[in-house]
Amino acid sequence: MNYIQISLLPHITDVKGEQVRAQAASFLGIDTGEVKCSQVYAVQYNLKDHDMERFAHTCLGDEIMNKVSVDQIELPAENFKAFIAVAKLPGVTDDEGTSAQKALADLIEGNDFDTQTQHIFSQTLYYIEKPLTRRQLKQIAEELLGNKLIHHFQYDTLGAVQSLKLNQLYVPKVRLVTDTTTTTIDLNLADDELLALSKRMVLALNLAEMKAVQTHYNYPTIQAKRAKVGLPASPTDCELEVIAQTWSEHCKHKEFNAVIHFVDKETGEEKQVNSLFKTFIKGSTEKVRQLLQEKGNDWLVKVFTDNAGIVRMNEDTHFVWKVETHNSPSALDPYGGAITGILGNNRDPLATGIGGARLLFNTNVLCFGSPYFDGKLLTGQLHPKRIFSGVRHGIEDGGNKSGIPTVNGSIIFDDRFRGKPLVYCGTGGILKPEYNGRPTFEKLIDPGDRIIMAGGRVGKDGIHGATFSSIEIDEHSPMSAVQIGSPITQKLMADFMIRACEQGLIKSSTDNGAGGLSSSIGELATITNGALVQLEKVPLKYSGLRPWEIFVSESQERMSLVVTPENKAALFQLAEEMEVELTDIGHFSDDGNLDIRFGEQRVALIDMEFLHDGVPQKVMYAEWEKPDLLEPIIQNELDHEQILIKLLGSLNICSREWVIRQYDHEVKGKTVVKPLMGETGKAPQDAAVVRLGFGSYEGVAVSNGICPQYGDIDPYEMSAGAFDEAVRQIISVGGTLPNQSVNDGICWSVNDNFCVPDSEFHPTNNPDGKLKLAKLVRMCEALYDMSTYFQIPMTSGKDSMKNDYKGDGVRISIPPTILYSMTAKVDDIRRTVTSNFKAIGDRIYLLGDTYNELGASEFYKLFGEVGTSVPKVRKEAAYQLYQKVSDANREGWIESCHDCSDGGMIIALAECLFGGQLGCNVNVDGFREDLSLLSILYAESHSRFVVSIAPENQAAFETHFGDAATYLGNVIPGDKLLVSYKEEEIINQSISDLIAAWEGGLAVMGAIA
């Protein structure tokens, strides 16, 4: 083993070191003094001394700024008194090391370096000036520099620095004893033993499910079939793992398919819902499809049955859209969880139909606890600030390094998300409708087609991810559930996939996500009704995995490709040219079995029908009761200037610029409405708009609707409100509702994502489970009502059912949350509308009706209240208003448009000013008599917009909108927001002060990068 250390020359600013110093001071209150970083590479190849020197100097060091030392430690000036070394744990993705290996192979040609397995291990060494205690060093290491689930830390103090030797540093070599045995598990056990087994093996199967497996294995026909091939009567470890993975909540959505007994205690109504998914989600899309087809709007291409939904944008363009969550891993390792989430979600559109979609954009919606949280953390729980910071970083690397713009998103703060954060990742892509005359939406497979694994290698990463996400996190959660994505590996694979698909070399594809090969091959095999897999062929990151582990491992950046035998050679040739590893691991069959082998060894023979249809339908109980809440009385003598400043700085309203700027939101050069716009680049926008290509002005608008706070009063209105929010954001930027006229071709594609706490009733463990489930039912009912009324269809989605964190006997549950992620075709991006005011003298209006709806508002939150007056969606009025807004846009009347949401009209108005150089003077007398001033300013009534128009269009505009438009005032020169009410000036604020307050909300995060 040789060691190469790369440090900075003394005159070069150590940016990373300065960051560590600043963060240690601000987060941990530790004065580190100066911090110096260096990178250490442990090299396990045998190289001649001269080659090692060359490698170090040319491939790793930069002569302008680095000092390079080989096998000799470079110490900073003598006054440094401590060090921390942060290495990766064995088997954790080390892209830095892998890239160094590739660089070495380029430098010294002809040497047959094994670059596929880890031979170079990178780590970071930090020298610290002050003589910190070991406890302080540990704290810096574990809370700032790394995560003990994936990193190894070494630290020492005082004289230790001077006596440190490079070869004393830890190297994460994987040492495993090779064990390829397969064991069998006797299921003829008593009920409690079955449950204990399920828990011990992390199968996440309940008693009914365990008994279904037990019964299946006791069938004489099954036993005979097994005996014939020499398999024991009892299931093998691999079989149980595959069944558990296939039947996991994550993969089978058992609760969304359950029979639910629902009792409404308000009305006394009782009913039974047979599958929330079929009744409300699929049911709504089927109804919408009918309504669309009646008008010749036949653009729904594929819904729910593939990795992502497909709609037709135009003759040459299908649009693929998928949003899903990655919550549990992000609670344990926020960076790894988020990067794995976004890269995993990218693979869904990439592997829809045949595969090979070109990814156009990412979005992400995040829910965290307050970064200012100062309560006690439970065992194993990370502080919300750390989760926020890590997740943000993961999304940055996942998107930026893949060259996919992150075009919009949303961040919600509520302390109930401090146990499990919600991390929703969305990706839209463009799929050609045909490759060489073959429709791309179809997933065709025939018996005899080869199963090709592409991309990264398999390690122990993420074993049990699918089952793990289906259970609560506690302090004993399996740590192999954590993994780190490698964007560069995936980028190479994605580039390859696109070429191979377009050349017709791939017949079908699917991604290896949760459940790994077990899930991807298991699902594809339903098309032919069988598959045979030879696990010994699967390339491994390191030896030592047992066969079942190979099959269920969730190592990232992998695809399963379906390839005809005659295309195999050409595909492998292309892969070699593009440096993507492919392996033929078996073929599809039609014999009704999932047949898994390891060499000669039979590992599993599972009946396909049992595997996919054998899971017993769950029966669940729901009971709805209105929460016991009161409307607060807020005294009317308020300083509205102060309230405005407070609201602007509040967590759910304040500027996200610090986050947004670290995401590349315009790579590909197609982003037309970006998250922040205007002269100053500070005005927040409602929806993103992305052009489809350089050759046309067609585009797609992207929005996200999410408002869990309203669910505390009424989950139906919460879900309806979130739906409306997403629709109105698209209308705001210039979109139009679908199905307005015959064959108008305006397609919409929506993904619904439900995240709820454990909603399965249990008298001791989950006594309010029935209420939680009732909330979910009501959310689904609203989805159906809104979707069918607006004729806006769900095309794909996801549910995440156990968002609870348990530790030290305490449970933290998230509020039930639904995210609607909407996309809609925009005919001409040149006619889209941005939120900031455009010209002095323009008239400002509020469109849509305001009600006395302050319930669960940001305003009430300032007073610690919730209230009862939840904003309600009035869909008829909303629908008509949205049609009118689109008509007005067609006339070109609307110069700026911004929807009202958190904080109400006054916040929307203020944000219209953040684009720069313009002020406004408004008067709020023009509202209905029954509205309080508080409601006018702060109510979060849905379906409203603050718009501005040029004075010359005023008459036509007012006639067009009638009562739906309330005149507020004018755009004025200068730096003022002026608001008057009943001849009294209630707000007179400089916009720069407003911006300062708005930008200060996340100051606590400012130092983190």
Per CB under 8 A, 669 contacts another protein: yes
**Cβ of 2: how many Cβ atoms within 10 Å?**
19
Per CB under 8 A, 53 contacts another protein: no
Per CB under 8 A, 836 contacts another protein: yes
CB of 854 to another protein, least distance (A): 33
Site string for another protein, 373-402 (x = CB under 8 A): -----------------------x---xxx
Per CB under 8 A, 71 contacts another protein: no
Check: CB of residue 514 under 8 Å from CB of residue 337: no
Task: Specify the residue for token string 């992150």.
Answer: 406
Per CB under 8 A, 833 contacts another protein: yes
- Residue 334 or 369: the one with the smaller Cβ distance to another protein is 334
Q: Which of 78, 106, 374, 637 binds another protein (CB under 8 A)?
A: 106
Per CB under 8 A, 152 contacts another protein: no
CB of 316 to another protein, least distance (A): 16
Tokens coding 42: 């442990």
Site string for another protein, 908-937 (x = CB under 8 A): -------x----------------------
Exposure b/e, 315-325, CB count within 10 A at least 16 = b:
eebbbbbbbbb
The total number of residues shown for the chain amounts to 1009
Exposure b/e, 820-844, CB count within 10 A at least 16 = b:
bbbbbbbbebeebbbbbbbeeebbb
Task: Specify the residue for token string 């009744």.
Answer: 279
Angle between helices 384-400 and 334-350 (to 10 degrees): 40
Per CB under 8 A, 340 contacts another protein: no
Q: Which of 53, 71, 96, 536 binds another protein (CB under 8 A)?
A: 96
- Residue 390 or 871: the one with the smaller Cβ distance to another protein is 390
Per CB under 8 A, 351 contacts another protein: no
- Residue 396 or 414: the one with the smaller Cβ distance to another protein is 396
* Helices and strands, counts by H and E, the chain: 31, 41
DSSP 3-state of 397:
helix
Check: CB of residue 655 under 8 Å from CB of residue 1002: yes
What is d(CA 98, CA 492) in angstroms, rounded to the nearest whole number? 14
Q: Which of 10, 46, 49, 62 binds another protein (CB under 8 A)?
A: 62
Q: Which helix (H) or strand (E) holds 328?
A: helix 327-332
Instruction: Write the CB contacts of 87 (distance below 8 Å, at least 6 apart in sequence).
Output: 121, 123, 151, 152, 153, 154, 169, 170, 171, 172
Per CB under 8 A, 666 contacts another protein: yes
Tokens coding 166: 């490079």
Q: Which of 141, 378, 538, 676 binds another protein (CB under 8 A)?
A: 676
Write out the E strands in 62-168: 66-70, 82-88, 120-128, 151-157
Site string for another protein, 2-41 (x = CB under 8 A): ----------xx-xx-xx----------------------
**Cβ of 201: how many Cβ atoms within 10 Å?**
16
Task: Specify the residue for token string 């302390």.
Answer: 415
CB of 579 to another protein, least distance (A): 7
Residue type, 893: W
Q: Which of 679, 808, 891, 985 binds another protein (CB under 8 A)?
A: 679
- Residue 527 or 947: the one with the smaller Cβ distance to another protein is 947
CB of 833 to another protein, least distance (A): 7
Per CB under 8 A, 112 contacts another protein: no
Per CB under 8 A, 111 contacts another protein: no
Per CB under 8 A, 491 contacts another protein: yes
Write out the E strands in 566-687: 582-588, 593-598, 601-607, 619-624, 671-673, 676-677, 683-684
What is d(CA 326, CA 753) in angstroms, rounded to the nearest whole number? 11
| Alpha carbons within 13 A on the beta-carbon side of 152 | 15
Check: CB of residue 334 under 8 Å from CB of residue 427: no
Tokens coding 222: 């099954």
Per CB under 8 A, 569 contacts another protein: no
* β-pairing verdict for 508-511 and 438-439: unpaired
Q: Which of 662, 852, 868, 883 binds another protein (CB under 8 A)?
A: 662
Per CB under 8 A, 63 contacts another protein: yes
Per CB under 8 A, 671 contacts another protein: yes
What is d(CA 90, CA 545) in angstroms, rounded to the nearest whole number? 14
Per CB under 8 A, 668 contacts another protein: yes
Per CB under 8 A, 830 contacts another protein: yes
- Residue 21 or 507: the one with the smaller Cβ distance to another protein is 21
- Residue 22 or 629: the one with the smaller Cβ distance to another protein is 22
Per CB under 8 A, 109 contacts another protein: yes
Segment lying near another protein (by CB under 8 A), choices 90-98, 165-173, 381-389, 973-981: 90-98
What is d(CA 165, CA 703) in angstroms, rounded to the nearest whole number? 54
Q: Which of 667, 877, 931, 1005 binds another protein (CB under 8 A)?
A: 667
CB of 834 to another protein, least distance (A): 4
Write out the E strands in 789-853: 794-800, 804-807, 810-813, 817-826, 843-847
Check: CB of residue 712 under 8 Å from CB of residue 813: no
Check: CB of residue 812 under 8 Å from CB of residue 731: no
DSSP 3-state of 417:
helix
Tokens coding 219: 């069938």
- Residue 65 or 259: the one with the smaller Cβ distance to another protein is 65
- Residue 404 or 866: the one with the smaller Cβ distance to another protein is 404
Per CB under 8 A, 503 contacts another protein: no
CB of 1007 to another protein, least distance (A): 9
Please, which of residues 837-896 interact with another protein by CB under 8 A?
Answer: 838-839, 895-896
Q: Which of 89, 197, 488, 1005 binds another protein (CB under 8 A)?
A: 488
CB of 54 to another protein, least distance (A): 10
Instruction: Write the CB contacts of 4 (distance below 8 Å, at least 6 apart in sequence).
Output: 40, 41, 43, 52, 55, 56, 60, 68, 69, 70, 71
What is d(CA 989, CA 1009) in angstroms, rounded to the nearest whole number? 32
Sign of CA dihedral 610, 478, 519, 621: positive
Segment lying near another protein (by CB under 8 A), choices 627-635, 661-669, 856-864, 899-907: 661-669
Per CB under 8 A, 65 contacts another protein: yes
Per CB under 8 A, 634 contacts another protein: no
CB of 41 to another protein, least distance (A): 9
- Residue 93 or 528: the one with the smaller Cβ distance to another protein is 93
What is d(CA 1007, CA 1009) in angstroms, rounded to the nearest whole number? 7
What is d(CA 768, CA 402) in angstroms, rounded to the nearest whole number? 43
Per CB under 8 A, 691 contacts another protein: yes
Number of residues in contact with another protein under rule CB under 8 A: 70
Sign of CA dihedral 935, 939, 944, 945: positive
Per CB under 8 A, 67 contacts another protein: no
CB of 116 to another protein, least distance (A): 16
Please, which of residues 572-591 interact with another protein by CB under 8 A?
Answer: 577-579
Q: Which of 369, 465, 487, 715 binds another protein (CB under 8 A)?
A: 487
| Alpha carbons within 13 A on the beta-carbon side of 205 | 31
Per CB under 8 A, 678 contacts another protein: yes
CB of 431 to another protein, least distance (A): 16
User: Residues in the site for another protein, rule: CB under 8 A?
Assistant: 12-13, 15-16, 18-19, 58-60, 62-65, 95-96, 98-100, 102-103, 106-107, 109, 396, 400-403, 486-488, 491-492, 495, 577-579, 660-672, 674, 676-679, 681, 691, 694, 829-830, 832-834, 836, 838-839, 895-896, 915, 1009
